[in-house]
Amino acid sequence: MISYPPAKINIGLSVQSKRPDGYHEIVTIMSPIPLYDILEVLPAELFSFKQTGIILPCDGRLNLCERAFNLMKEKFGIGNVYIHLRKQIPFGAGLGGGSADAAYVLKALNGLFELNIEASELENLAAQLGSDCPFFIDASPKLAIGRGELLSPIKDRLSGIRIVVLNPKIHVSTAFAYAAIAPRVRGMDWETSWNSPIDEWQELFTNDFEQSIVAHFPVITELICALKNQGAIYAAMSGSGSSVFGLFEQECKLDFSKYEDFIVLNEIIH
């Protein structure tokens, strides 16, 4: 069974308060983008996990895909599998690649072993793996609250919009990002703002992580400005960084020749 876990971007991100459990209350809008990892899950006599493509740092912990399998094994007593993850979404980049991989392992195991688990229960299982993981069970535009796991469907506003993602090859840990900001409640009608013209979003949506992260990595501001200067109607950092993205209403030739050490991921969202 082969599937394609997508990346996501955040349109705005507000960190409202710190919770007693150590997590933070947030509000954000997430939308999938057509940038994918490749995930293969096959029945096997013994469990094994293989990762190719972008090399992930070895920190001694299990990969989220392995943790997703262990969760399903413990809860449902499923058989063993071979998992091959080809990593193409940069990690530590605010694009949710690891969360997507974990969610798609849950979905693959649900299908492979004919467990018939409903999407709502898969989301609850995914929430045990990470705050962004439930979003990828359905992977459609959502308003996310709580620690990011409480999801409400919203209209797709990015159909036909060109998105350019720039990744400066800087790894930003989530723990570092949260430690650098002061939570604050920001009164805002997120769904109304989402439904406003996209060329008004720059004044409506801000990412609370941006100010503190760019203080450490000023190239992020440079890339956001470069996107705006070349016609982006909205440009921002995604999640806790370090990737930035720009939304374009029409095709145009972009020039990033002055920047050497980053990845350009150029896609059309349908």
Q: State the catalytic residues.
A: 8, 132
Instruction: Give the residue from 48, 62, 69, 262 showing the smallest Cα distance to 167.
Output: 262
Measured in whole angstroms, the distance separating CA 157 from the mean position of its chain's CA atoms is: 17
Q: What Cα–Cα distance (Å) separates residue 67 from each residue in 101, 122, 126, 133?
A: 11, 14, 10, 12
Give the chain's radius of gyration (CA, Å): 18
Question: How big is the CA angle at 145 (ends 143 and 149), to the nearest 5 degrees?
Answer: 95
Classified as helix, coil or strand, 39 is strand
Amino acid identity for residue 238 in this structure: S
Instruction: Give the residue from 19, 30, 114, 110 showing the smallest Cα distance to 69.
Output: 110
First to last CA, the chain: 25
What are 137's two structure tokens? 């069970």
What CA–CA distance (Å, rounded) separates 242 from 217?
9
Q: 38: burial class by Cβ within 10 Å (0-12, 13-18, 19+)?
A: middle
What CA–CA distance (Å, rounded) separates 4 from 8?
13
